[in-house]
Structure 1
């Protein structure tokens, strides 16, 4: 029953995380579309027609940016933080009652385990709302995808029903145009010219074996030559495949109204781009004839709904046709400076996408990705854990080996609760807000149930008594942006502070796995980040618990209490003895009784069994 309940909880968390990420991405996508529209409007003729068209494909590319590789995901997350300040996006704040229940328990060796009841567990949305919203999204996406599939089947049936032209003059003109477009290799061989009674204006469909379909009224003349050049340009630019890509992207993001508008603009820019390419091939005196041919054929009503298939056609809306004719009449070849400027703008927009798109790492908050480089050994500690669900990680620095109990759980990210204070204190030390010798902060007179909290605190007493107000004060002094930068730098779990600056670590948005806790403590002992040594030592001193037989036990407990029940217990730390260093993290999960105190008791039993403490 306990495992089933945990699975339901994780499933609910996954749904809310997915919905939250989807909304964040939708907002970022809308901002990206507005950025594209603004650039296009300001730049105007300073951008080539190709740049006006291809800039739209930054949108589907944005959907893949944060999935490409771990290092790109990390880069996107780092750049994402700039967005929050630049655009003033508000962080979701975690609401809890002013009269939160407080509990405390005496832990072994004089360590106090203070647990603050945060009320209901933090979620950006309730599970019911998340489930309903995702169901609506999935229904819409399936409907849109079914239309795309229908379009592909329709395109296939049109191809099957079409016939090759009966007059050799058609093929002769087709091959002449193909040579002028400079189609070479397998693509040129795969393109075929067909006649179909199902179309009233020229259309190109298919992306593996493109077919240019002409209506039966078409005749081999100079006007048809212009139309063939236009359609072959679609083939050269792989517009059918790009159209399908954009339609699939629209199907997934159907709920974003700006994207529907962007796709319509993309279709218009695609035709203008092809017109521009053909005009560049023609003699100046032929350009007006090309415009007349476009006007004659594009004005024909199309009986084929091309938007949902791998197809592009000559037809278009009246306003779009008017814009095309205007561009044809005002055509001028692009200068080298315009082309270079276009390349620079496209590059800059890719950078904007990296900034605007939220990292998909937000969807991987549930667990740490596998680390093949880690030497890990599974151990059976069921006897020590008894009826408690949890995981344990022990790192032996001498052997450079990790000992793990319940690896899947050891990779699962959960709220750090008070264990975050190790790094909250380190962040303030590095920022100079406090120092090892001057870390005292006055008590503001607020009455707390713990006598230890109702007095001035320095780093050592605040760490020992787990004084929330002290570390919240440090965080407030730093500010959200500096905290975000720090957690990005040390790579702390999912690095998500959207739960609000005073509660993000307390059964809220910030999450970390036991394995990551050990890896971070290892980095702390090695000072991997190059911080000031006195700051590292100040944190290590504040974590000292006990010493015996030349060995020093250091650590920090943490307890997550939700609606009066202790559901998330931590004990992380180290044992140092001469040249030996052992770093550990134990996490307990349960409906109740999963406290930092219990985590410490189990850890001490394990360390004793291993002959470490």
Structure 2
């Protein structure tokens, strides 16, 4: 089954499509005399682009300037399961003291039935539409096979002249058929033009010339490829009436643009004759609209085209330049806002990281089959080293690594102070002896005591926590999972690269916190010293339904005149925990001679 996230993006995109369609229709009307027919048609390509955005990763587009329009609908985990703390805790304790780690198990809530039903209906509709398009393409192939090469030498010579007049260098075959009533251009990779046999005897050479020019213009502007893209979009958005309406208008604008291109090659006294030729085909509607482009159309379309021909004036150079400037402005606005709808952006799942000073590493052997990433940043030399850049920019739950920032917020807002950080244990029995007594900031950070940091967050309050995370740009800054839960495989997400960038600012004292706040938290995450180097860090483990699926180790090494900031994240179905992430990190740091753990 397609993930529900795609259905959510499609629903969100449907809202945006409505707004964009209204904007395009308004632009066509407001700038009717400033946009050329070809540019008015090109406006619909923006609509096509937005249709594709939900399936395109944000990393392949430039960063958008829009604010997220919709947050993730509904929690991913059951609050009831996380509420019974004593029964839910599972340990992932390290055998190495400095990397001891504790995690809390959460349970995934069963997905609601309605999204699954809607997804099934959507996929069934796509199957039907795909079948219809395959049938249409098959009919075109049969038509091409049954068509005969044009035998009339005069018309063949006329076609060659029209092709040269249109500026087309590629050979395009022309056929005749008794099975169509309106000329069409067909074929995606090898386009051809098929004309009805009766046309050769019923029309004059002048009228045949108009028809051939029209179909050649379709080939020149790749309208057959656009037809296929439109067909694909209608397969996906078969349920959306505005998409059907938009494509009808797009086809109409395409024919008007094609007419204008033909008129630009004709003498003014031929405009009337060209319009008369269109009228001859007003009743002859092609059945192959998905796979072919044709000169005919409905009476309503023909009427619009006749009015365009009657009002046509040759385009001046300034008119064309002005039209392109307007189109560019509209395009920039649309492209700047659409990444909010991309495959990553609606949940903020991919961080857009642009830096030239990056060295790609191959550390596959260290990860022992785990999926994950390692990010290292040398503070003074401003140099990144990254293993698996895609995973390094993917946002996942921070789990216990978030406690660094929980402590910063609590100290900054007075929930605790460096001198008075003691919180009393309420007597609840936990499976870890180290949790079953009063805690200070140092002991709570050392033993990763969840109840201590939940108490800090409750005292600090969600509004101030949100303000704090916003001020430092912490991941997606989504606290909708609720106090004590949002950082445990829930709504809050952050990427390894962002972890490193935040810790780099932490080391440089560039975060918006007082120096004594930074100093207190730094002391609480101190792990060990070796050969003149000091190691600071915090592990984190995400445990879902009793399985460790998300492991973190983040921190920094101060050695001599350099500070090395690092973040390791691993993903797996089991045993992907902070302890394993820590061991992987320590091996990498040791082999790179950054930090060597004493035996």
TM-score, normalised via structure 2 length: 0.72
1:183 matched to 2:173: no
1:195 matched to 2:181: no
Matched residue, 1:347? 328
The answer to whether the Cα contact below 8 Å between 2:378 and 2:564 also exists between their aligned partners in 1 is yes
**Bigger mean CA offset, 267-276 vs 125-134:** 125-134
Separation in structure 2 between the aligned mates of residue 191 and residue 93 of structure 1, nearest angstrom: 55
Matched residue, 2:420? none
1:276 matched to 2:260: yes
Q: 1:527 to 1:307 in 2, by over 3 A?
A: farther
The one-character-per-residue Cα deviations of 1:521-566 (angstroms, maximum 9, x if unpaired) are 7744765989899599448526434566766453334454657887
Q: 1:354 to 1:167 in 2, by over 3 A?
A: same
Q: 1:50 to 1:102 in 2, by over 3 A?
A: same
Separation in structure 2 between the aligned mates of residue 192 and residue 606 of structure 1, nearest angstrom: 63
Matched residue, 2:431? none
Q: 1:535 to 1:165 in 2, by over 3 A?
A: farther
The answer to whether the Cα contact below 8 Å between 1:91 and 1:500 also exists between their aligned partners in 2 is no
**Bigger mean CA offset, 340-349 vs 45-54:** 340-349
- Quote how far apart the aligned CAs of 1:294 are: 0.4
1:49 to 27, 37, 49: 37
1:375 matched to 2:358: no
Gaps of 5+ in 1: 1-11, 429-433
The answer to whether the Cα contact below 8 Å between 2:182 and 2:296 also exists between their aligned partners in 1 is yes
Matched residue, 1:15? 3
Q: 1:225 to 1:471 in 2, by over 3 A?
A: same
- Quote how far apart the aligned CAs of 1:126 are: 2.0
2:128 to 120, 139, 143: 143
Matched residue, 1:164? 149
1:35 matched to 2:16: no
- Quote how far apart the aligned CAs of 1:482 are: 7.7
The one-character-per-residue Cα deviations of 1:455-491 (angstroms, maximum 9, x if unpaired) are xx9998997865246557576347589839824xxxx
The answer to whether the Cα contact below 8 Å between 1:32 and 1:353 also exists between their aligned partners in 2 is no
Separation in structure 2 between the aligned mates of residue 262 and residue 577 of structure 1, nearest angstrom: 62
Separation in structure 2 between the aligned mates of residue 254 and residue 261 of structure 1, nearest angstrom: 11
- Quote how far apart the aligned CAs of 1:249 are: 2.9
1:508 matched to 2:496: no
Q: 1:450 to 1:273 in 2, by over 3 A?
A: farther
- Quote how far apart the aligned CAs of 1:50 are: 0.4
Gaps of 5+ in 2: 418-423, 429-433
Matched residue, 1:267? 251
Separation in structure 2 between the aligned mates of residue 49 and residue 113 of structure 1, nearest angstrom: 65
**Bigger mean CA offset, 476-485 vs 15-24:** 476-485
The answer to whether the Cα contact below 8 Å between 2:44 and 2:250 also exists between their aligned partners in 1 is yes
The one-character-per-residue Cα deviations of 1:17-59 (angstroms, maximum 9, x if unpaired) are 4444444445444443343233223322322110111111223
Q: 1:128 to 1:67 in 2, by over 3 A?
A: closer
- Quote how far apart the aligned CAs of 1:450 are: 8.1
How many residues in Structure 1 have an aligned counterpart in Structure 2? Answer: 557
The answer to whether the Cα contact below 8 Å between 1:570 and 1:586 also exists between their aligned partners in 2 is yes
Matched residue, 1:9? none
The answer to whether the Cα contact below 8 Å between 2:372 and 2:391 also exists between their aligned partners in 1 is yes
Separation in structure 2 between the aligned mates of residue 364 and residue 395 of structure 1, nearest angstrom: 23
1:232 matched to 2:219: no
The answer to whether the Cα contact below 8 Å between 1:498 and 1:504 also exists between their aligned partners in 2 is yes
Question: Partner of 1:298: helix, strand, or coil?
Answer: coil
What are the equivalent positions in structure 2 for 1:122-521 lying under 5 Å apart?
126=111, 133-179=118-164, 181-186=165-170, 190-218=171-199, 219-300=203-284, 302=285, 304-309=286-291, 311-351=292-332, 352-357=334-339, 358-361=341-344, 365=349, 373-377=359-363, 414-422=396-404, 439-441=413-415, 467-468=453-454, 470-471=456-457, 473=460, 476-477=463-464, 483=470, 486-487=473-474, 492=475, 495=476, 497=478, 499=480, 504-512=486-494, 516=497, 519-520=500-501
